[in-house]
Structure 1
Amino acid sequence: MKSCLPPDPNPIKPSHQLPAGACDAHCHVFGPADVFPYSPDRSYTPPDAPFERLVALHDFLGLSRGVIVQASCHGTDNTAMLDTIARGNGRYRGVAIVDGDVTDEQLADLDAQGVRGVRFNFVAHLGGAPDLDVFDRVLERIQDLGWHVVLHLDAQDIVQYAERIARIKVPFVIDHMGRVRAEAGVDQQPFQQLLELMRNPLAWVKVCGSERVSRGKRPFDDAIPFARTLIEAAPDRVLWGTDWPHPNISKDMPNDGELVDLMFQFCPDAELRDKLLVRNPAKLYGF
């Protein structure tokens, strides 16, 4: 089983000050394993990245809010994420992973604890596409809660699952700019399909994961044209996050302060940046 590299322990202080209410709309908490064990059938083992370290990073960077996205290494055991939301006293919201057996009572309990969506992985190295019957059933169940679904896709999946995605009746969020490959350019079919998808008023996208889109060398500025294009295409339905602690990065490990500065290059306009960082996540996650 693969072990992940730890995040950069020395983030730089960003050159720019973030606006009040700025939200890291994609981050994780992992463990600590002796308190919140990892799933036995996980595909990777992350370094512990607990609540205290996430809060310290957010305070250092100037991020007021965050969305804890459940990752596959914890499976459907959402306790580490729920613990962070509870200890954050309103600072955090969550996106859970659930299975097809989840009950309405369990979903209502997750909602009461600050969860606002579910996540499904389609990414090949994390096990590939979910059971699509379960996918459909869960999406039907979350409608009445006003939740959304987060889709973690590889670039080619945007094309392969286009018809199924078009049938989704709840808001849906595409992670990491669809994990398109920067070297293939903005004209590549998956990115053009993603732009077409953004015409759907239910579609949202996270302009994060630059290190996953990039050829792989800091400062990952080859991701800028993709992020800018998406922000221009759907300024009211874009989100940004750090992806801390950056699981499964085998290339250059990002520096989280540099990622904040990179985001200012994505979005030099202050009005659009306020949407990206403050208003859009407040609307989707109910801050």
Structure 2
Amino acid sequence: MLTESPVRLGFALPRGATDSHCHVFGPADRFPYSESRRYTPEDRPKEMLAALHARLGLERAVIVQASCHGTDNRAMVDALRWAPDRYRGVAMIDDDTPDAALRDMQDAGVRGIRFNFIKALGGKPDMGVFHRAAARAAPLGWHMVMQLQGDGVLEMEPVIRALPMPVVIDHMGRVDPALGVEGPAFRALLELVKDDRIWVKLSGAERMTTTPFAEAVPFAAALLRAAPMRVLWGTDFPHPNLTTPVDEAELLNLLPAFAPTPEDRQRLLVDNPAALYGFPN
């Protein structure tokens, strides 16, 4: 069960505020984890995610398929069908994913596909599979979500620019905060988001630094200034592969530093995710 947080929000969330990056795990007795997974999480089913959002005041969510479930998207799709007006999804697919499954996921609210390029999660995927997946997803109007880490932004820049669809970069590119905003990977990310097809999530502060997460602020603020109409934010609940507990209310309280004005926060939390994911008015 989720415990009540002692942290209170220091600002008012706009109506329709969206968690644009979160996960559901299991329950394993209904939705088993992938046999090729690199980690085994504790079950965090859709009911726990909904309870967190109710406590925080977040009204909508984008549920992103995590690598522990591999390309078995059933837990994620089950959550989408449970709250179709409030949830959208991002799937993981490969060559074995049938066209019928893509159509079913489209009907359920999936709007993108995701590939991990993180060494701890398996490293660079088969690029043939990656490009074939992009070619299948693009006609559906879906986008590509890429989890990169630091220099991976530089390495993948030509691939990102050549994709036939919008691209979302997870967790501010997971750049090294020790290199500062002038670090080469972050400068490359700032150049990328000048392209009006490329979005970035101002999430993952807890992966860059420890509480109170202040080291993440200059990076998020710079990205918001560079692409105010193409930034998103998410909790990353339940924070897979982190050993230190994270209070999502603390992450939310960073937002006035990321996005100083109510107009900035309206775009970050409501308007931008609505535009990308097609939430109803």
8 Å contact kept, 1:149–1:171: yes
Tell me by how many angstroms 1:47 deviates.
1.0
Q: Distance between the aligned counterparts of 2:89 and 2:268, measured in 1? A: 18
Instruction: Give the Cα separation in 2 of the matches to 1:56 and 1:165.
Output: 36
SS in structure 2 opposite 1:254?
Answer: coil
**Cα distance change of structure 1 residues 265 and 240 upon mapping to structure 2, 3 Å threshold:** same
**Aligned-pair CA distance for 1:15:** 2.2
Work out the CA distance in 2 between the residues paired with 1:9 and 1:28: 18
Tell me, in whole angstroms, the C-alpha distance in 1 between the residues paired with 2:217 and 2:120.
25
Match of 2:112, SS? Answer: strand
| 2:86 is the counterpart of 1:91 | yes
Q: How does 1:1-287 map to 2 (within 5 A)?
A: 9-11=3-5, 12-214=7-209, 217-250=210-243, 252-287=244-279
Shift, 1:143, TM fit: 1.4
**In structure 2, what is the Cα distance between the partners aligned to 1:77 and 1:109?**
13
Alpha-carbon separation, structure 1, partners of 2:79 and 2:274: 18
**1:151 corresponds to which letter in structure 2?**
M
- Deviation track 1:198-231 (CA, whole Å, cap 9, x = no partner) reads 11111000000001122xx201111000000000
The question of whether the paired residues in 2 share the 8 Å contact of 1:206 and 1:240 is answered with yes
Q: Is the 8 A contact 2:19 2:235 kept in 1?
A: yes
- Aligned with 1:151: secondary structure? strand
1-side partners of 2:206 and 2:24: how far apart?
A: 19
Contact 2:95 2:133 (8 Å CA) reproduced = yes
Query: Cα RMSD between the aligned structures?
Result: 1.2
Q: Structure 2-normalised TM-score?
A: 0.96
| Unaligned ranges ≥5, structure 2 | none
Which secondary structure does the structure 2 equivalent of 1:208 belong to? coil
2:186 and 2:2 mapped to 1: Cα distance?
A: 29
**Is there any run of 5+ residues in structure 1 with no aligned partner, and where?**
1-6
**Which residue in the other structure is 1:4 paired with?**
none
Q: Indicate conservation of the 8 Å contact 2:2/2:48, yes or no.
A: no
Q: Which amino acid counterpart does residue 80 of structure 2 have in structure 1? A: I
Amino acid paired to 2:77: L
- The one-character-per-residue Cα deviations of 1:150-205 (angstroms, maximum 9, x if unpaired) are 00011111111111111112000000000011111110000000001111111000
**What secondary structure, in the 3-state scheme, does the structure 1 residue paired with 2:254 have?**
helix
CA distance in 2, matches of 1:100, 1:43: 21
Secondary structure of 2:253's counterpart equals helix
What SS does the corresponding residue of 2:229 show, helix, strand or coil?
Answer: coil
Give the alignment's TM-score, normalised by structure 1: 0.94
Q: Secondary structure at the match of 2:12?
A: coil
CA distance in 1, matches of 2:9, 2:43: 25
Q: Is the 8 A contact 1:8 1:254 kept in 2?
A: no
Identity of counterpart residues, as a percentage?
51
Contact 2:84 2:109 (8 Å CA) reproduced: no
Rounded Cα–Cα distance in structure 1 between residues aligned with 2:40 and 2:2 = 17
